[in-house]
Chains A and B, each alone.
Chain A
């Protein structure tokens, strides 16, 4: 027989599951078949068929016969009974364990939901791996949108230039563009629609002139109407389901809404379809899709899908080589620095791009959440393991008994593991309950829209069960291993508990130290985050933000009329035009001093009224020139002044009177190049943008009477905003009849800038508290157990004359050492993590070591209290009661 034996692992597998009575003939048959097939089909094929045969025998027919199962079943039954008895006997430990597991794992489930929600952004779009958004670098900023070739003549044909060019590349399967009105390039603000002579406000229209392509790239679910006819022609609109409900009530589908005419911005449109709302975790959304030849913007978000097996880099190379064909003069323009692409699924995570539609995710926060979830899991596991060790220590005799009766090590281990896993699984329904109850609140906290039915989906249920089983196994593994391998006689011996190599370096102490470490670290991190949020909110922004109202207004005339009316009110202190701080970053421009060569590219230009400077109480000495009669002045802020002065080698004050040139690359007839401004003064820095960015260079034109106004601010000294707001509204309605009054408070707007930070901070704080409470609960359980175990020792100490206080101190000291080790370990790690988190902010606190030490102290106090309460009872018992026991 020249052929090697059939695969041994398969034979062994067969031997494992197969009934012994059948094994011989089956093995014989299979081996005979194998050698026959070697002759007939070759060795490889024979091996494969052999394995297939073995697997095909894996069915009840061949399984070990019932005789064995019958022996096993009563054992199994007994195990369950004992497990249940033990769980009920140790009510206190069971309760602590179960509560810990339920709360901890529920938090972990919620965090995983959230991470999954964020990380799967845009992945519901079919073919998202091949879909890209084109972005354009201009000056030092990357624009998330593609501008139309001409800013001034932005009409339908001109707007199609980029897309039409993309059609030339075989690598591009399809391309589309759109502009949501709520985005920075969509103009924002409210748009009014008239349906059946009723006025409705619209906040987010999606404008597109590439309807069919839009539907191909981002397929919409049509609830009513037909895609091809709805998307085919201009002047059609497609409602989202929620808008249809808002306009036509819950039974919109029964009313004949298709074909209805809607007036939007004085133009008629026909309702052609209703689609499902955009999924919450996509990077854009809309109330209504409006098909129009001319998109009302200077740019559009542009997307393309590649054909399969095409590389985006190749396409970008070609595109940048051919760029002059659709953007005339692009390569000659020094400011245009090339077209790039962002993969669809990366849009939500790409920071520092201009005009993104929705706020992007901060990956730093996401990983923080993930880390906290892992910390909670570790705490649960250590708690569970600690408490199991404690619980099982009482059961040595029971285990010894089992061994005497013939239980093998694996039987003992199985019993202990079964109990650990069983208790974990008991928590399953409670976890589902807690998660479903808290999900709505969680969604509110994190501004997410995680669907409730995700809880009862297969991956959640399966993952949760797996997590619970693993939790049970991990925490049961240590005691199961130790007890099952122990010599039977030792189990009956006097040695109580598990004996360890050393008194201090043992399993339980390492777990407790790990817990202390996690809690101290988490507590310090939570405090750092809290400190930073406070720091930001209380920082001097350089302007007055209290009691400030702002709203939109159409034009300078209406503004002046309203201002006159408002200033007559005694409670109004100031009214100003433009320059509302707390803005999103917008396009920057280049600037230089006329007589130096270096050009800077981080300038932000602003046009505001003198009254705005006064309303915000900005520190602008030069503005006196306006009051003296000048019509307009040009000031730069300290940041810009310092930069320019450094280049020029003079002091910032000496720049006053010099000429600054903005956009020096732009050739024109008036100045030759750029726009020339004589600097009239320097304005003190104030935080026009979020504190996340460092100070920006502001180039501000201040007007005595601004020529056009679109937003205004009102400062009041009122205590009763309700009445004042009514008065402002009345005055407003006398000036403006078309646009409704939409007031906001400046403080709210500023708070919104740090909303995502505040949300994340809150979540970390809540999770931190959960983790700390869990850890303390576990600790309380262990201490209670230790005190109980050491009753005798305590009794003897008391007999020999020790006081209650000295006994308490003894206990505390042991934990104190562990805590000290934990603080020393936590110190560098939490400082490091905090520094990384804070580096996201341009203005931030310095993480201080004393915070970590303080956190250690807080934990110490909590631990002392817990130990005190738990040991007091044991220490206060009359020693005779304890010593009499045996």
Chain B
């Protein structure tokens, strides 16, 4: 089981949520939208590359648009391992939350 950093977890979640439309720029935009702070594209790229190396996501090239000067995007999708990892993290968090007695 790979350990996941905070940023890695967030980005993995974003990729999962974005479903078939996750690539460098769109992830950084989504991050800005959901987290309320900016992240550089190069940081997104490094995290995505790391996640791919860990086998949590996979990628393929496709979808050139004129906006990108006709260049293709690298579309990322979450693998089964990735989904399991997220589920595990969620479960363990849930367990912790349930131990806290009163929380409004």
Contact = CB atoms under 8 A, between A and B. Distances in A.
Partners in one complex: yes
Interface of A: 1, 22, 24-33, 35-36, 52-53, 56-57, 59, 61-62
29 contacts: A1-B66, A1-B67, A24-B61, A24-B71, A24-B72, A25-B71, A25-B73, A25-B74, A26-B24, A26-B41, A27-B68, A28-B25, A28-B64, A28-B69, A29-B24, A29-B41, A29-B45, A31-B68, A31-B71, A33-B28, A33-B41, A35-B67, A53-B40, A53-B42, A56-B40, A57-B42, A61-B42, A61-B45, A61-B46
Contacts of A61: 42, 45-46, 49
A346 to B, nearest CB: 50
A26 B23 CA distance: 10
Interface of B: 23-25, 28-29, 40-43, 45-46, 49, 61, 64-69, 71-74
A36 B65 CA distance: 14
Contacts of A52: 40
Given A25-B61, A62-B42, A33 B25 contact: yes
A56 B25 CA distance: 14
A53 B71 contact: no
B42 A56 contact: yes
A36 B38 CA distance: 14
A52 B46 CA distance: 16
A27 B40 contact: no
A561 B69 CA distance: 107
Nearest to B48: A25
Given A26-B24, A28-B68, A28-B69, 4 more contacts: A26-B45, A28-B25, A32-B68, A57-B45
Contacts of B46: 59, 61
Contacts of B45: 22, 26, 29, 57, 61-62
Contacts of A24: 61, 71-72
B29 A36 contact: yes
Contacts of A53: 40-42
Contacts of B66: 1
A30 B46 CA distance: 14
A805 to B, nearest CB: 76
Which one of A24, A32, A35 has the greatest number of beta carbons of chain B within 10 Å? A32
B64 to A, nearest CB: 8
B11 to A, nearest CB: 14
B72 A28 contact: yes
A36 B29 CA distance: 10
B72 A25 contact: yes
A32 B25 contact: yes
B14 to A, nearest CB: 15
Which one of A1, A25, A33 has the greatest number of beta carbons of chain B within 10 Å? A25
A56 B43 contact: yes
A26 B44 CA distance: 11
A59 B25 contact: no
A29 B43 contact: no
A593 to B, nearest CB: 89
Nearest to B50: A61
B26 to A, nearest CB: 9
B42 A27 contact: no
Contacts of A27: 68-69, 71
Contacts of B42: 53, 56-57, 59, 61-62
Which one of B24, B68, B74 has the greatest number of beta carbons of chain A within 10 Å? B68
Nearest to B38: A49
A503 B23 CA distance: 66
A29 B73 contact: yes
Which one of B28, B40, B42 has the greatest number of beta carbons of chain A within 10 Å? B42
Question: Lowest 6 CB-CB distances: which A-B pairs, in order?
Answer: A28-B71, A28-B68, A29-B24, A29-B25, A56-B42, A25-B74
A1 B41 CA distance: 22
A234 B68 CA distance: 80
A25 B48 CA distance: 12
A22 B52 CA distance: 14
A30 B41 contact: yes
Contacts of A1: 66-67
B52 to A, nearest CB: 12
Nearest to B46: A61
Contacts of A33: 25, 28, 41
A186 B61 CA distance: 87
Contact of A29 (B23, B49, B61, B64): B23
Contacts of A35: 67
Given A35-B67, A61-B46, A61-B49, A28 B73 contact: yes
Contact of A32 (B61, B67, B74): B67
Nearest to A23: B71
B32 to A, nearest CB: 11
A33 B71 CA distance: 13
A57 to B, nearest CB: 4
Contacts of B40: 52-53, 56
Contacts of B69: 27-28, 31
A56 to B, nearest CB: 4
Nearest to A50: B41
A22 B46 CA distance: 11
Contacts of A36: 25, 29
Contacts of A30: 25, 41
B8 to A, nearest CB: 15
Contact of B24 (A25, A56, A59): A25
Nearest to A57: B42
Nearest to A61: B46
Contacts of B65: 32
Contacts of B25: 28-30, 32-33, 36
A22 B41 CA distance: 13
A28 B67 CA distance: 8
A726 to B, nearest CB: 86
A773 B23 CA distance: 68
A56 B23 CA distance: 18
A564 to B, nearest CB: 96
A78 to B, nearest CB: 33
A30 B66 CA distance: 13
Which one of A26, A27, A28, A36 has the greatest number of beta carbons of chain B within 10 Å? A28
B23 A25 contact: yes
Contacts of A31: 67-69, 71
A846 to B, nearest CB: 72
Which one of B25, B29, B73 has the greatest number of beta carbons of chain A within 10 Å? B25
Nearest to A27: B71
A157 B68 CA distance: 82
Contacts of B73: 25, 28-29
Which one of A33, A36, A62 has the greatest number of beta carbons of chain B within 10 Å? A33
A60 to B, nearest CB: 10
A289 to B, nearest CB: 58
A59 B42 CA distance: 9
A796 B19 CA distance: 87
A53 B24 CA distance: 12
Nearest to B68: A28
A35 B73 CA distance: 16
B50 to A, nearest CB: 9
A36 B30 CA distance: 13
B47 to A, nearest CB: 10
Nearest to B27: A29
A32 to B, nearest CB: 5
Which one of A30, A53, A59 has the greatest number of beta carbons of chain B within 10 Å? A30
A789 B88 CA distance: 80
A30 B44 CA distance: 12
Contacts of B61: 24-25
Contacts of B23: 25, 29
B22 to A, nearest CB: 12
Nearest to A52: B40
Nearest to B40: A56
Which one of B23, B28, B43, B69 has the greatest number of beta carbons of chain A within 10 Å? B69
Contacts of B43: 56
Nearest to B74: A25
A138 B26 CA distance: 80
Contacts of A28: 25, 64, 68-69, 71-73
